[in-house]
Copies of this chain bind each other. A is one copy, B any other.
Amino acid sequence: MALIKVGINGFGTIGKRVASAVSAQDDMEVVGVTKTRPSFESEVARYRGFDLYTPQKSVELFEKANVPVEGTVEDLCGKVDIMVDCTPGNVGPEYKAMYAKAGIKAIFQGGEDHSLTGISFNSTANYKESWGAQFSRVVSCNTTGLLRTLYPIDRRFGIEKAYVTLVRRAADPGDSKSGPINGLEPTVKLPTHHGPDVQSIMPWVNINTMAIKASTTIMHMHTVTLELKNPASTEAAVEAIRNSSRVRMVDAASGIKSTAEIMELSRDLARDRSDMYEIVVWEDGVKAAGNMLYYYQAVHQESDVVPENVDCIRSMCKVCDAADSVKMTNQALGIPYKC
């Protein structure tokens, strides 16, 4: 079978990971990646073996810096079956027309609105909805994290209402510009966009979200409070969460007290870029009482959407069903598979 030809538009935090993850699959290949400016990250692209493409207006910049490029973003569009658009939030709409004109498929990220594509994607919850689609959108890291646990819990116990507080990392680890260095910042516009974004995939769920930005770079954390339709014991809830796809359970009692130790574990697991693709839930932090269920989960904002992008390619290109795709993706990335 011919490999699916994939382009990655934007080689930043998400784009470079999607590029590596696509490369690690047997049924697809990376034709090229794009950068708008020469920098150490364009050297990384070449170190990782990816051909560089640039917007037309940036060609001169790269020439001056003696960084060879293979062509423009338009050129790349002409060579691929599907583009994974990892440009910064709200830039995607500018490119959609270019993808449409080139007649290629494209995946956008959670920084774009659902309305851009009309379809949003999550491997666990709605793999089939993007089947054969020209355009789809992988929801944001936080929304992906919520869907990974809410969907299976809803299937098992039914969710009457969900209240979530998201404590968001203020900057990515490689971002030395953003703060706060010492402070907490509420997202005053309520409800935050996370609830509606979950509803773009689980429209039947009654969910409200609040968010606080904290002085940390490594992971987001959520407190999840659920009113269930059917009562759950703590044991049953733990079991349902543990068996969920791309969810990892840890135990504070074993020494994983905070997100710091999670990232340490992640490095120990020998993953590429020390990534933690799974949503991490503390087993000793799950508590059920009557119809109420409480738990904490941590989200690696840099990488949890990476396997979803790979699966989304397979759904849009009609390669195989969800179970097979998740199994292939997980195996290639070193994520334990749960059937």
Contacts and interface: CB of A to CB of B under 8 A. Distances in A.
A28 interface: no
Contact of A221 (B176, B186, B256, B264): B186
25 contacts: A170-B179, A171-B179, A175-B179, A175-B180, A176-B258, A176-B260, A178-B179, A180-B258, A182-B215, A183-B260, A183-B261, A184-B221, A184-B259, A184-B298, A185-B257, A185-B258, A186-B221, A186-B252, A208-B225, A210-B294, A212-B223, A214-B214, A217-B260, A267-B273, A268-B273
A183 B284 CA distance: 19
Nearest to A288: B190
A44 interface: yes
Contacts of A217: 181-182, 260
Interface string A63-102: 0000000000000000000000000000000000000000
A184 B225 contact: no
Interface of A: 16, 38-41, 43-44, 47-48, 163, 165, 167, 170-171, 173-186, 188-191, 208, 210, 212-219, 221, 223, 225, 250-252, 254-261, 263-265, 267-270, 272-274, 282, 284-285, 287, 292, 294, 296, 298
A176 B257 contact: yes
A182 B173 CA distance: 8
Contacts of A177: 178-180
Contacts of A175: 179-180, 260
A167 B184 contact: yes
B269 A47 contact: yes
Given A214-B214, A264-B174, A296 B221 contact: no
A41 B179 CA distance: 21
Given A261-B174, A273-B268, A284-B188, A167 B44 contact: no
Contacts of A296: 186, 188, 210, 212
Contact of A215 (B186, B214, B270): B214
B215 A165 contact: no
Contacts of A189: 284
A268 B40 CA distance: 10
Nearest to A286: B190
A182 B38 CA distance: 25
Given A176-B185, A252-B188, A270 B272 contact: yes
Nearest to A188: B285
